[in-house]
Amino acid sequence: MAHTTRPLILVTNDDGIYAPGIAALVEVARTFGDVVVVAPDKPQSGMGHAITINSTLRVDKVPAHTGAEAWSCSGTPVDCVKMAVNKLLPRTPDLCVSGINHGANHSINIIYSGTMSAAIEAAIEGIPAIGFSLLNHSIEADFSAAKVAAAAVIAQVLKNGLPNGVCLNVNIPKLHIDEIKGLKVCRQGRASWIEDLDERTDPSGRTYYWLTGHFESFEPDSDDTDVWALHHGYVSVVPAQFDLTAHSALGGLSEMNSVSLSTIEQS
Amino acid sequence: MAHTTRPLILVTNDDGIYAPGIAALVEVARTFGDVVVVAPDKPQSGMGHAITINSTLRVDKVPAHTGAEAWSCSGTPVDCVKMAVNKLLPRTPDLCVSGINHGANHSINIIYSGTMSAAIEAAIEGIPAIGFSLLNHSIEADFSAAKVAAAAVIAQVLKNGLPNGVCLNVNIPKLHIDEIKGLKVCRQGRASWIEDLDERTDPSGRTYYWLTGHFESFEPDSDDTDVWALHHGYVSVVPAQFDLTAHSALGGLSEMNSVSLSTIEQS
């Protein structure tokens, strides 16, 4: 096969370019195409869709991954995608994969996730994109089952493409591959974090806080959610979009169109 | 009217607690209820839905706003909402308003916006929420028309509430109040930023970049979008949601449910 017919695959993450999870994903991606890695130079978990607009960005070519050109970037995961697409890559990539995240990004977690924000940014730029997360926070997590799942999803996306404006949020349960029942296409479960701000006192006597909390699913019994799928041994595959319009709410709000601003007193 | 019957209103933003835009919003909010401000201690534009999980948070009570308790927070706009709801406020607020942002947050900008991420976080926590943005980046921007628009929208939301899981993204054109045609409930326009990474050399000879670019609307003639509304002299009101599931894509992806993981070679 001629070199130019191989897909060009951008790999990024939010745990940083030296995380074991991105090394696992590079290994998988290399079996499908030519890989360029552009990933944060430090952990960027919880960065959501942040971009760097009030400070500068740096990129450095680093020998971080065997068989793949790799760039370390000082910015957020979304910055990495913008830097890759607009500066570092020779052409628009055929696919962007993000992860494999050390930890879950199902349900409401997608909105806080740097891993998924990178995939969503790629989708905004018209690139088929997939974020992968393993339900295991450990730096020593076993990515072998996650790699099989990633290969399966990447193969499907390279074969069939994705609808315009849609990327995939793939979460893999912390199970051996033989225990995983398969892929399950599903929706984002309704859930939330119940915060518990851990209050402490520093050596100078000033108060500070750690943001912590526990996860609460609002619909643990609904069998069409990612939370349910993962709990029952499936790899969850949620199509995600960046159009945040609540289309179903447009009609009910139409009364606002008739509010006259000229009758309101200026304060 | 007894003090306890007044709505409790949380005010936040992403430009920082001393920005003129939040002062304007506090003035408006005070006419509707008891106001508590919890806002970033420094500009946090473009922070998206970032949260602070790898470092600590600090809050300080500051005399920043007349007639309103005000707390300066070291974190992101989303952190401010979590800190307010879970630590600083006496009870769940009846409304959260964010802004008034110095600059536009229509169309795709919502996903990068700290202003809107604060409102979305409040919606996640079950609080009716509205983000306000004025199409004027200047620190000396005239917020008088924006204040009238904000009062009109706040009055509607306090009267009618909002659907569960939905907040409002309100953008105000840079016009005199007499030139504004009214409110227009509409959808997020399809648009993108075409990045132009401004490459420079530092005094040590190393390359660095500024993330910059120009905005491109993909459907400037569609009259049901926020981009169109603003261009034609309306205040745009977009209902926004945090369920990112692309529900319309679920059916088309169902082929993935039958992919067998056991037949894929582990690399």
Q: What is the ipTM of this complex?
A: 0.93
Confidence label for B262 from pLDDT (cuts 50, 70 and 90): confident
The Cβ of residue A144 has, within 10 Å, a number of other Cβ atoms equal to: 12
With a CB cutoff of 8 Å and minimum separation 6, the contacts of A135 are A103, A104, A171, A172, A173, A174, A230
Query: How much is the average pLDDT of B168-195?
Result: 96
Looking at residue A1, what is its pLDDT? 43
| CB < 8 Å to B225, chain A | none
Q: Please identify which residue in the block is written with the tokens 């075409």.
A: B194
Confidence label for A267 from pLDDT (cuts 50, 70 and 90): very low
Task: Tell me the pTM.
Answer: 0.95
Angle, alpha carbons B150-A258-B106 (nearest 5°): 50
- What's the maximum distance between 2 C-alpha atoms anywhere in chain B? 72
C-beta atoms of A156 and B259 within 8 A: yes
Q: What digits encode the pLDDT tens for the residues A99-116?
A: 999 999 999 999 999 999
**Alpha-carbon radius of gyration of chain B:** 20
Of A177, A244, A262, the CB nearest to B110: A244
Residue A163 CB-density burial (10 A; 0-12 exposed, 13-18 middle, 19+ buried): middle
C-beta atoms of A50 and B45 within 8 A: no
Domains of chain A: 3-190+221-243 (3.40.1210.10)
Looking at residue A171, what is its pLDDT? 98
Query: How much is the average pLDDT of B151-176?
Result: 97
CB distance A104 to A82 below 8 Å:
no
Q: Please identify which residue in the block is written with the tokens 């993909």.
A: B218
Looking at residue B5, what is its pLDDT? 82
C-beta atoms of B208 and A247 within 8 A: no
Residue A150 CB-density burial (10 A; 0-12 exposed, 13-18 middle, 19+ buried): buried
Cα-to-chain-centroid distance, residue A174: 18
Share of chain A above pLDDT 70, in %: 97
Looking at residue A187, what is its pLDDT? 98
Pairwise CA distance, residues A34 & A15, whole Å: 22
Looking at residue B267, what is its pLDDT? 44
Please tell me the least confidently modeled range out of A14-23, B3-12, B22-31, B107-116. Answer: B3-12
The Cβ of residue A174 has, within 10 Å, a number of other Cβ atoms equal to: 16
C-beta atoms of B124 and A252 within 8 A: no
Looking at residue A2, what is its pLDDT? 44
Residue A173 CB-density burial (10 A; 0-12 exposed, 13-18 middle, 19+ buried): buried
Give SS3 for A85: helix
Pairwise CA distance, residues B240 & B118, whole Å: 12
Q: What digits encode the pLDDT tens for the residues A61-102?
A: 999 999 999 999 999 999 999 999 999 999 999 999 999 999
The Cβ of residue A55 has, within 10 Å, a number of other Cβ atoms equal to: 10
Instruction: Calculate the average pLDDT of chain B.
Output: 95
Q: What digits encode the pLDDT tens for the residues B224-260?
A: 999 999 999 999 999 999 999 999 999 999 999 999 8
The Cβ of residue A161 has, within 10 Å, a number of other Cβ atoms equal to: 12
Share of chain B above pLDDT 70, in %: 97
Flag whether residue B51 sits within 8 Å of chain A, measured between CB atoms. Answer: yes
In this structure, are strands B129-134 and B95-102 parallel, antiparallel, or unpaired?
parallel
The Cβ of residue B42 has, within 10 Å, a number of other Cβ atoms equal to: 12
| CB < 8 Å to B79, chain A | 211
The Cβ of residue A259 has, within 10 Å, a number of other Cβ atoms equal to: 17
* CA B156 to each of CA A136, B48, B75, B143, B240: distance values in angstroms, whole numbers, following the listed order: 45, 27, 31, 20, 16
| CB < 8 Å to A51, chain B | 46, 48, 112, 211
| CB < 8 Å to B150, chain A | none
pLDDT at B2 exceeding the cut of 60: no
* A vs B: CB pairs below 8 A: 286
C-beta atoms of A51 and B46 within 8 A: yes
| CB < 8 Å to A152, chain B | 259, 261, 264
Query: How much is the average pLDDT of A215-243?
Result: 97
Looking at residue B260, what is its pLDDT? 86
Query: How much is the average pLDDT of B179-203?
Result: 95
- The residue among B32, B79, B111, B184 with the most chain A CBs within 10 A of its CB, best to mutate, is B111
In 3-state terms, chain A is what percent helix, strand and coil (to 5)? 30, 30, 40
C-beta atoms of B261 and A27 within 8 A: no
Of A28, A195, A246, the CB nearest to B82: A195
Smallest CA-to-CA distance from A65 within A113, A16, A7 is with: A16
Pairwise CA distance, residues A59 & A53, whole Å: 16
Smallest CA-to-CA distance from A169 within A222, A113, A244 is with: A113
User: Phi/psi at A121 (nearest 5 deg)?
Assistant: -60, -40
Query: Is residue A100 reached through a cis peptide bond, with omega within 30 degrees of 0 on the bond before it?
Result: yes
Looking at residue B264, what is its pLDDT? 59
Q: Please identify which residue in the block is written with the tokens 């491109």.
A: B216
Pairwise CA distance, residues A60 & B118, whole Å: 33
In 3-state terms, chain B is what percent helix, strand and coil (to 5)? 30, 30, 40
Q: What digits encode the pLDDT tens for the residues B77-129?
A: 999 999 999 999 999 999 999 999 999 999 999 999 999 999 999 999 999 99
Question: Which two tokens mark A114?
Answer: 């740097």
Alpha helices in chain A (DSSP H): 20-30, 77-83, 114-124, 144-160, 226-231
The Cβ of residue B6 has, within 10 Å, a number of other Cβ atoms equal to: 13
Q: Tell me which residues of chain A, numbers 75 to 134, contact chain B at a CB-CB cutoff of 8 Å.
A: 75-76, 78-79, 82-83, 85-87, 108, 110-112, 117, 120, 124-125
Which helix (DSSP H) or strand (DSSP E) does residue B207 occupy? strand B207-210
Flag whether residue A198 sits within 8 Å of chain B, measured between CB atoms. Answer: no
